[in-house]
Structures are given as structure tokens and as C-alpha cells.
A and B are shown apart, each in its own frame.
Chain A
Amino acid sequence: MSSKSQDVESLLGQKYRHGFVTDIESDSLPPGLDEDVVAAISRKKNEPQFLLDWRLKAYRHWLTMQEPTWAQVHYKPIDYQDISYYSAPRAPANAPKSLEEVDPKLLATYAKLGIPLHERARLAGVAVDAVFDSVSVATTFKDKLAKAGVIFCSFSDAVRDYPRLVESYLGTVVPAGDNYFAALNSAVFSDGSFVYVPPGVRCPMELSTYFRINAAKTGQFERTLIIAAEGASVSYLEGCTAPMRDENQLHAAVVELVALDNARIKYSTVQNWYPGDENGLGGIYNFVTKRGECRGRNSKISWTQVETGSAITWKYPSCVLKGENSVGEFYSVAVANNYQQADTGTKMIHIGRNTRSTIVSKGISAGHAENTYRGLVKILPSASGARNFTQCDSLLMGPKCAAHTFPYMEVKNPTATVEHEASTSKIGEDQLFYCLQRGISAEDAVNMIVSGFCKVVFKELPMEFAVEAQNLLSVSLEGAVG
């Protein structure tokens, strides 16, 4: 390992040690979970009765469920009574007032990742009202969306302003009792994003959580609902390439997508939560339920994800292909370094006729990490002519990491076509030496080899995101070889 990469590694680790200590303010609930807590959350947010009922139903169901243990991840039992389920968004008193007060090393990392200036401020925890840039950008943005008739707001605002839309779609893709973490989320979710694109409208810009005003601190139980009406299309970007600070260890988000006839939803994620230190201590547990339903004919839902963060990732963005000729896609790059554990993949449920799905999964493991692909392709008897193509490739860097692939297939219609390809390769000493012998530095060589490996996924990302993702990958894997 070169001294340069050591610098960056220590720098990457360091920014978390300087985490912000937030005072417990009055506007938060004490740790613990029962029906009163669920009701209190709903009351604090002035929610209508239907939502309270829905939350309570989810909570009661959750009580009957067991935490899943089938994933290839290991962690100490979580004490759900030791978590505070509500705290109002707040600006910590000791947050830096401007970028000048932020640790220069942290800023150097952002610079290395190519994060725009205004975004750096937000990530570093600079008080939001000091970030003029982002506010003005976001305002321009809102005007443009309003003209197109696109609703893009926080989940709480949607509950207040569009309760009927929320009521008719919430939980229709991921039911409240879908799984342990989804049920928990349904009971206690704090906030999230809501998008509605009306019929025939092509959303005029990429929607990004970053541009949503008040997006900061949506908390550990985030809920997103995106609806593309007939003939509508939208591209949604979640997350950020920069490492995000968060004091909450458990994250259990739910994302629901609904695509009606001829609608298209493209959902791109770059996830870079704190992965824990180089010994595997700390780090976010990311237990996410993401599912899209191609409800209408000829609809299409495409998931693209670049997962580099979190100590544990448990995440299977899925597509339910109900509408005839509908299309589901899943493109994924999952990186696990040091002691990270990633168990991720997708489910493609083919219900409608001539439905098609494509799965491309690229797993990269380094250090002592475990990286698992888990995928299900299910073709129901009704799905005549359904087709699936799955490709899972794993790249191992170093001798102590591991990659696992669990592809499940259930084909109940004889006219369906299912193809699966899988490979595991090592970042070859040979490949590395070949590049070195051409005068290319080890760092550049590893970047080149890894991005070559991920190319098919990166090209699915919106352009700017793709560049950031590539930078992120090189920072995440710095020092992993050589």
C-alpha cells in the first residue's frame, strides 16, 4: 500500500470520528416502541386517520414477525426498544456555520469525489440556511416542475396536500406487513419523498433527493412513493456519492414505485453510508425494501444502484411485472471493502404476458468483505412468453474476501425463456502487471480494471452520476490492491 493511499484511507475514516454530538432536544421521543409511540409520531405530524390506522396495523403485524436470518450477513441483535423513533428535524447547535469551519480533510475528500461546492456544505453538516446556492437552485427547480404538473415533495407534505393520492397508492406495492423491516418502517416512518408525474408528462429533469428542500434529516425510516401515470416518465436519483454522516445505526427504508400504462420509471441510487472503520466497528445497517410495480401495459421500471457504503446492506430492489409487455431492469454494482457485508440482488416477478426482465449484477469484494448476490426470477403460469436474462459477475481483490451467488428461479410457464450467466474473477496480478509494465500507476490501473468491470452498469446511470460513481469507486477501493 502506498503512503498516499494510506493518507486517503485515514482521512476517509477520520471524518466519522469527528462526528457531531447532538444534544437531545425536547422535540423527540424517548427510546422505545409501542402503540403510543406510533400514535405520537402520527399526531406530531398531524396525519389523517387513515394513516394512523395504517401505521398501527403495520405495528401490530410487526409484533408477530421474526427478524429474518436468511441473509449472508452477521450482526449483533438489534434492541428495538433502544431506538428513538421520532426526532424533529433540527440544526445542531454545534454545526459549522460555513465551509471555513469544516475539517479541511473532509473537504479534500469531497473535492476528490468531485462533489459540487454547495453540496459539500450540506454533507458536512453546515447549517442549511447558510447554503444559499442550493436553496436558489432548488427554487428554480420547483418552478419548472410545477409548470409541468409534476408533484415532488416530502412525504409529509404529500400527506397534507395530496392525501387521496397517498391513500390510494401507499402500501400497494410493498404492503405494510411485507417483511420485518418494511413493517417496522410502515409503523414508524418519519419522512421521505413523494413523486407524482401526471399522464403523458415526461418529467423535465432528473429528480434528486438533494433538490428537495428540507431533505436533510429524513431519518432512519424513510419512505418514498413514486407514481408515473399513463404515458409518464421520470428519472429519480437517490443518495449521494459523498460519505454521509448519520448517528442512526439502523436504516430501514421503503421505496414503492408504480408505473401505469406506457409509463417509465428509472430509479438510480448511489449509496455511501458510513461503512464502519477498517476493523468493522460501527457503520450503518441498511435494511431496505425497494419494489416497483409495472402495473400498466408496456410499462418499464429500471433500477440502477451503486452500493459502496454501510456496514451491512440488505437490499433487493425488485420489479413486479403485471402489465402485458412490461419490462423490469436491475443494474447493480456492489462494493464491499474491509469488513463490510453486502447481501443484495433483485426479484423479478413475471405475471403479465410477454414481460421481460434483465439483471446485471457486479459484485466487488476487497479486504475481509463478504459480498452476496441473491436474486429471484419467478415466472407465474400467466406469464406466457416471459423472458429473463441474468448476468452476475464477481470480482475479488485480495485473498481474504468472499463472493457468493444465490440465483433462484421458479418457472411455471413452459413458454418462458430464462438465461443465467455468472463469473468470478480475481483482479489479476496479471492484469495489474500488464498495466504497470505499460507505465501506468497501480492506482490508475486498479481504477481502470474496476471501472471496466462495472462499465455496463455505469452506462445506465445518468451521465453526471456515472462520473461521480466512478470517482467514488476509486476512493472506496483505494489501497485495496498493491
Chain B
Amino acid sequence: MLLKISDLHARVAGKDILRGVNLEVRAGEVHAIMGPNGSGKSTLAQVLAGREDYEITGGTVTFEGRDLLALPAEQRARAGLFLGFQYPVEIPGVNNVYLLKAALNAKRKAAGEPEVDAYEFLTLIRQKMKFMQMSESFLTRGVNEGFSGGEKKRNEVLQMLVLEPKLAILDETDSGLDIDALKVVSAGVNSLRDPARAVVLVTHYQRLLDYIVPDQVHVLSQGRILKSGDKSLALELEARGYDGVLGQVA
């Protein structure tokens, strides 16, 4: 089991957001988490990535059998957990590629591997940027500095492709993308699919799942996963809405 979430409770500013989440993700799988606004989807993503603003009030999470919640954020990342941010932040003056190289080297160092040299890295990133249909100008720009919404999302997927995480959690990576960008981003995610890795997609829209076909779909509402199913659940949600589908459960 790559990721196992058991009865996870979390709160922020005194408010309970996650109220007993259970989820199991095996290597090789793609899971989609859907749900109405405010259901706790982004909180779940942030809690898994180690954001400290959230207080964990109960439950456990294991990642490859290790206690994930005991690790600080940077160690989770080095262990192979990647979060594609819903709103990637700008870091002015810090070169986009410099940050990515530092990230890759931090991960390699933790794994006891040698650091990549500049030439090797440039070759790698050029290849991945080409795949993501990003212009060379991204090599010299600051991290997300002045990027459009779509460019930021592409940049997130680029980072994911370079870091090759075991588990990628993509928080609304499809939002704000036009159809061409959606295809590119989806191709990026699909290229990472492999029996050793897993992807958790947090999304509002069924349309992403036309391009990245999930093994399982979960509906998160009021801090719990209320319903799980295969891809057809997403279609059902689109046809009947959350109330329609969850009404049956309740």
C-alpha cells in the first residue's frame, strides 16, 4: 500500500474540516477526489503535504508503511510525495530552474544519490519543457513570476515530471486551463503513470477525467468520503450533481 489514510481528522482556526477520512491508494493507481466547494478537498491535499496551519486531531496516515504525519513537509517531499498547488505562489527574483534544481538535488541527496550537474540538468529540463510545450523563456524567469494561470499549472506539472514523485497529489491542476492546455497537462500526468507510482487528482470537473482516466473516484463532502466508485461515478456526478448522488447515500 502506497498511501493509507485512516479516520483522519483535521481542523483549522478551531473549525473541523476533515472528519474521518479513509482512503487507500496502491502504486499504479489513479484516484480522483471530487466534491462540492468547502468539502475539505484542498485541506486534505495540504494536510498530506505537511502544511502546519492545520491541526491533526485524529487518525493516521502511512506512506509506504511509514508514519507520514510524523515527517516534516520537506522530508515528505524527499520521500516522494508531490503536491501540485492550486495557486502556485510567485517567488520574485528566484530563478524557476534554480529552485527546481535545488529541489531535485535535495531529493537525490536524501536518497544518497549524487547531485545532478548543470549540464545534465539542463538537458533534462529542456526535454521536459518541450514535452510540456513551454518556451525557453521559462528557464530564465522567476518562480511563477508574472506567469498566467495556465503557465503556473504547466510549471507545476513540469516540476512533477522532473522530480518523478511516487505519489502526486494534484490540487485542481485543471482549473483555469483552456482545452489545449488541459491536453498538455493531462499528457504530462499520464506520462508519469507507471506501476510504481500513483496519482491523486483533486478536481471539480469530470472533463479532466476524460483525459486522465481514474481507477477510482471518491466524493468528499463535509470532511468525509461519502461515496466511492469507478469512472462512471464521475459521469453520474456530472449528470445528477452532488446533491443528487449524495442524496442516495444520506
**Which of A's residues lie within 8 Å of B, judged by CB?**
428-431, 433-442, 444, 448-449, 451-456
B-side contacts of A448, CB under 8 Å: 91, 94, 98-99, 102
Quick check: B102 and A434 within 8 Å, CB to CB?
Answer: no
Of the residues B51, B92, B93, B159, contact of A438 by C-beta under 8 Å = B159
Quick check: A433 and B78 within 8 Å, CB to CB?
Answer: no
Quick check: A440 and B103 within 8 Å, CB to CB?
Answer: yes
B74 at the interface (CB under 8 A from A): yes
Quick check: B99 and A438 within 8 Å, CB to CB?
Answer: yes
Within 8 A of A (CB), among B91-116: 91-94, 98-100, 102-103, 106-107, 110
A-side contacts of B102, CB under 8 Å: 438, 440, 444, 448
For A429, the closest partner residue in chain B by CB is B53
B85 at the interface (CB under 8 A from A): yes
A-side contacts of B59, CB under 8 Å: none
Contact A439-B142, Cβ < 8 Å, known A431-B91, A434-B85, A452-B94: no
Q: Tell me the smallest distance from the CB of B70 to a CB of chain A, in Å.
A: 16
Question: A437-B50, A438-B163, A444-B102 known; 20 other A-B pairs, CB under 8 Å?
Answer: A430-B89, A433-B49, A433-B73, A434-B89, A434-B143, A435-B99, A437-B73, A437-B77, A438-B159, A439-B74, A439-B78, A439-B106, A440-B102, A442-B74, A448-B94, A448-B98, A449-B94, A452-B92, A452-B142, A456-B93
Quick check: B94 and A438 within 8 Å, CB to CB?
Answer: no
Within 8 A of A (CB), among B136-187: 142-143, 159, 163
Q: Tell me the smallest distance from the CB of B159 to a CB of chain A, in Å.
A: 7
Quick check: B51 and A433 within 8 Å, CB to CB?
Answer: yes
Alpha-carbon distance A440/B159, docked complex (angstroms)? 13
Alpha-carbon distance A120/B163, docked complex (angstroms)? 41
Quick check: A434 and B88 within 8 Å, CB to CB?
Answer: yes
Alpha-carbon distance A456/B93, docked complex (angstroms)? 8
Contact A436-B74, Cβ < 8 Å, known A428-B89, A444-B102, A452-B142: yes
B229 at the interface (CB under 8 A from A): no
Interface mask (B49-75 → A, CB under 8 Å = 1, otherwise 0): 111010000000000000000001110
B83 at the interface (CB under 8 A from A): yes
Alpha-carbon distance A436/B91, docked complex (angstroms)? 13
B-side contacts of A441, CB under 8 Å: 74, 106
A-side contacts of B142, CB under 8 Å: 452
A-side contacts of B77, CB under 8 Å: 436-439
B-side contacts of A430, CB under 8 Å: 89
28 contacts between A and B (CB under 8 A): A433-B51, A434-B85, A435-B103, A436-B72, A436-B73, A436-B77, A437-B49, A437-B77, A437-B82, A437-B83, A437-B85, A438-B99, A438-B100, A438-B102, A439-B77, A439-B78, A439-B103, A439-B107, A441-B74, A441-B106, A442-B74, A444-B106, A448-B94, A451-B93, A451-B94, A452-B93, A453-B92, A455-B93
User: Which of B142, B143, B159 has the most chain A CB atoms closer than 10 A to its own CB?
Assistant: B143
Alpha-carbon distance A434/B171, docked complex (angstroms)? 13
Q: Which 5 A-B pairs have the closest CB atoms?
A: A452-B93, A452-B94, A438-B103, A439-B77, A439-B106
Contact A434-B91, Cβ < 8 Å, known A442-B74, A444-B102: yes
Q: Tell me the smallest distance from the CB of A306 to a CB of chain B, in Å.
A: 15
Quick check: B89 and A431 within 8 Å, CB to CB?
Answer: yes
A contacts with B: majority SS: helix
Alpha-carbon distance A449/B145, docked complex (angstroms)? 13
A-side contacts of B98, CB under 8 Å: 448
Alpha-carbon distance A439/B110, docked complex (angstroms)? 9
For B81, the closest partner residue in chain A by CB is A437
B-side contacts of A452, CB under 8 Å: 91-94, 142-143
Quick check: A440 and B74 within 8 Å, CB to CB?
Answer: yes
B-side contacts of A454, CB under 8 Å: 93
Alpha-carbon distance A409/B50, docked complex (angstroms)? 48
Alpha-carbon distance A304/B74, docked complex (angstroms)? 36
B-side contacts of A428, CB under 8 Å: 89
User: Which of A431, A435, A444 has the most chain B CB atoms closer than 10 A to its own CB?
Assistant: A435
A-side contacts of B89, CB under 8 Å: 428, 430-431, 434
For A458, the closest partner residue in chain B by CB is B93
A-side contacts of B106, CB under 8 Å: 438-441, 444
Alpha-carbon distance A437/B163, docked complex (angstroms)? 11
Alpha-carbon distance A437/B49, docked complex (angstroms)? 7
For A448, the closest partner residue in chain B by CB is B94
Quick check: A453 and B110 within 8 Å, CB to CB?
Answer: no
Q: Tell me the smallest distance from the CB of A311 to a CB of chain B, in Å.
A: 29
Alpha-carbon distance A449/B93, docked complex (angstroms)? 8
A-side contacts of B110, CB under 8 Å: 439
B-side contacts of A431, CB under 8 Å: 89, 91
For A436, the closest partner residue in chain B by CB is B73
B-side contacts of A429, CB under 8 Å: 53
B-side contacts of A437, CB under 8 Å: 49-50, 73-74, 76-77, 82-83, 85
B-side contacts of A438, CB under 8 Å: 77, 99-100, 102-103, 106, 159, 163
Alpha-carbon distance A238/B83, docked complex (angstroms)? 46
A-side contacts of B92, CB under 8 Å: 452-453
For A444, the closest partner residue in chain B by CB is B102
For A456, the closest partner residue in chain B by CB is B93
For B103, the closest partner residue in chain A by CB is A438
B-side contacts of A435, CB under 8 Å: 91, 99, 103
Alpha-carbon distance A444/B106, docked complex (angstroms)? 10
A-side contacts of B143, CB under 8 Å: 434, 452
Alpha-carbon distance A435/B49, docked complex (angstroms)? 12
For A433, the closest partner residue in chain B by CB is B51
B-side contacts of A433, CB under 8 Å: 49, 51, 73
Alpha-carbon distance A322/B197, docked complex (angstroms)? 68
Alpha-carbon distance A451/B91, docked complex (angstroms)? 11
Alpha-carbon distance A33/B50, docked complex (angstroms)? 62
User: Which of A438, A448, A452 has the most chain B CB atoms closer than 10 A to its own CB?
Assistant: A438
For A454, the closest partner residue in chain B by CB is B93
For B82, the closest partner residue in chain A by CB is A437
B-side contacts of A456, CB under 8 Å: 93
Alpha-carbon distance A449/B92, docked complex (angstroms)? 8
Alpha-carbon distance A436/B93, docked complex (angstroms)? 18
Alpha-carbon distance A212/B83, docked complex (angstroms)? 54
Alpha-carbon distance A454/B76, docked complex (angstroms)? 30
A-side contacts of B83, CB under 8 Å: 437
Q: Tell me the smallest distance from the CB of A377 to a CB of chain B, in Å.
A: 24
Q: Tell me the smallest distance from the CB of A117 to a CB of chain B, in Å.
A: 27
